[in-house]
Structure 1
Amino acid sequence: MWKLLQITTLQINSKIVGIHIFRKFLLVLLRRTHVNL
C-alpha cells in the first residue's frame, strides 16, 4: 500500500514538473517569435 502511494506521488510530481518545464519552454519560444516578428 505504501509503495503504491509513493509511486502515485512520484507520478503526480513528475507530471507537475513536466507541465512547468513545458510552460517555460513555450514562453521562451513565444518571446523568440515576437523578437523575430
Structure 2
Amino acid sequence: MTLNPADRPYFSLSVDGLEHDFQILSFTGHEAINKPFCFTL
C-alpha cells in the first residue's frame, strides 16, 4: 500500500538490523555550536 505524501509521518527512525521503522510521535532536544547534541525520542 502506497501512502499519500500528505499522510506520511513527518519524522521516522530506521535502525539497521531491525525489521520495522518507527514513527516519531514527539521529540525534544538541545544543540549548540561546538557542543554535543542530545535528542530524546
Give the TM bin, normalised by the shorter chain: under 0.3
More strand by share: 2
Does 1 or 2 have the higher relative contact order (CA < 8 Å, sep 6+)? 2
More helix by share: 1
Q: TM-score, normalised by structure 2?
A: 0.17
Structure whose CA Rg is larger: 1
